[in-house]
Copies of this chain bind each other. A is one copy, B any other.
Amino acid sequence: MPTVSAADLLASHFDAMPPVRALQPRVLGWADGRLRLGAPLAANVNDKGCAFGGSLVSLMTIAGWGVLALRLAEAGVEADLYVADSRVRYLKPVYEDLQVEAAAEDPAAAAALAAQVRAHGRAGLRVRAQVRLADGAVAAVLDARYVAIARG
Copies of this chain assembled into the complex: 2
- Contacting residues of chain A (92-141) with chain B, CB-CB under 8 angstroms: 93
Known: A55-B58, A86-B88. Is A18-B47 also a contact (CB below 8 A)?
no
Across the interface, do A52 and B19 meet the contact criterion of CB distance under 8 Å? yes
Interface flags, A14-42, vs B, CB<8A=1, else 0: 00111110110000000000000000001
By a CB distance below 8 angstroms, the chain B residues around A55 are 19, 58
Across the interface, do A18 and B13 meet the contact criterion of CB distance under 8 Å? no
Across the interface, do A52 and B90 meet the contact criterion of CB distance under 8 Å? no
Taking Cβ atoms with an 8 Å cutoff, the residues of A that contact B are: 13, 16-20, 22-23, 42-48, 52-55, 57-59, 61-62, 80, 82-90, 93
